Structures are given as C-alpha cells and as structure tokens.
Structure 1
C-alpha cells in the first residue's frame, strides 16, 4: 500500500521536477512518519488528507503574515491532530515531546 499523494491541489506536497522537496531534515521525517503510519493502517488517507486541507485553509484564512507558509508544519499539525483524534497520542504528549526536542542543543542529532 502506498499513500496516494496528490500531484496538484492544496494537499499536494512541494515538488521540483516531479521530486518531493524538503527544506529541512525534520520535514522528510514528518512526511515519512505520516506515510508509514498510513501504510501500517493507523488511519485512512482521506482522514489525513481532510485534516491537511483544513489546516492549509485555516492558515490561508488567518492571513498569518507573521507566520510564513510552511507546508510541512501544516502536514505535521494535521498528523498530530489525526493521531490525537484516534487517541493514539494525546495533545499533551505531543506538546511535551515538542518542548523537549526544541530544548536540545543546536546541531544535536542521533548519530553518537
């Protein structure tokens, strides 16, 4: 089973010459996590797609001039919401983990 990624439209991931584009390593990890969880049957693609489109639409409506558009931030927020809705993870768990990761020293990775 492969995630049915859209080529065009609001849910379509950024591409260059047909290839997916990731500006930061975390973006590819968030992408891979969502696809892997979908392929494992954790949620349906329409569930995720609907949440992603809703997140994008909310960002557009908000006119968040102070927050630049970042597809993968919205992708990650959609994933978190879907998983929280399925009670696979709580919002508090996500917040706690995000704070812990944000507090790590710059350049920290898992290759020790």
Structure 2
C-alpha cells in the first residue's frame, strides 16, 4: 500500500519540481497540503473522496487558464470535505477565515500571522 503523502502528492495538476516533489509558492500552500495529508492519514476521508472533490474543484468553470489558482482549488476541496463530513460547519469555517484575514491585516510585515493578532478575538 502506498503512503498517504505519496497518494496526495499524485493529485491531479499538483505543481512539481523537476524531481517530482510537490512545490509550494507560499507557506499556506504547504500547510494546506499537510492538513490534507494529516486528515487522510487519520481516516477522515478516503482517497477516492479526496480525488473526486479535488477534481470537481479543478475542473469547475471559471478556473484560471494558467492554473495559478491550483491551491485555491485544493483549499476549496478540503473545505468542502470537512463541511460535508460534518467535521466543522461552513459558518465556523467562514468565521475562522475572517478572523485569519483580520489577523493578517494586523500583523506587521515579516512576522508570522497568528490568530491572536485578530483585533476582534
């Protein structure tokens, strides 16, 4: 049986280095990948569930022709799975996202973004 990270690393259209390893343009992309691997390893969703939802996001109308939105699709797929599987609600996910955006806006350039920096928290 293949390791979960190896399965996810074979996701359609995943950006890769010349050696075949996943590449991430931003730290949040690596975080999203790691969260997905962790949830898959814990049995929260199956490979077929992940592949189906990710494919739906990757092939939805309005996608960027240059695939620069690949990890946006990845996060959308992960968000869908955790809400459809009732791990969290869409409202809770939206609230957390808004908190993160406020924290990002309040964080000095070059410093790590922490939810504690959300002025409304």
Structure 1 residue 12, shift from structure 2 partner: 3.5
SS in 2 for 1:108: coil
Per-residue displacement from partner, 1:2-40 (whole Å, max 9, x unpaired)? 241364xx7241101112110110000000000100000
CA RMSD of aligned residues (A): 2.1
Gaps of at least 5 residues in structure 2 are 115-121
Q: 1:109 aligns with which of 105, 110, 113?
A: 113
The answer to whether the 8 A contact 1:52-1:74 is kept is yes
> Could you tell me how far apart the structure 2 residues matched to 1:63 and 1:2 are?
27
**TM-score for the superposition, normalised by structure 1:** 0.81
Structure 1 residue 64, shift from structure 2 partner: 5.6
Q: Which has the larger radius of gyration?
A: 2
Q: How many pairs does the alignment contain?
A: 104
Is 2:72 the counterpart of 1:73? yes
Structure with larger RCO (C-alpha < 8 A, sep 6+): 1
**TM-score for the superposition, normalised by structure 2:** 0.76
Moved >3 Å (runs of 4+) = 106-110
Gaps of at least 5 residues in structure 1 are none
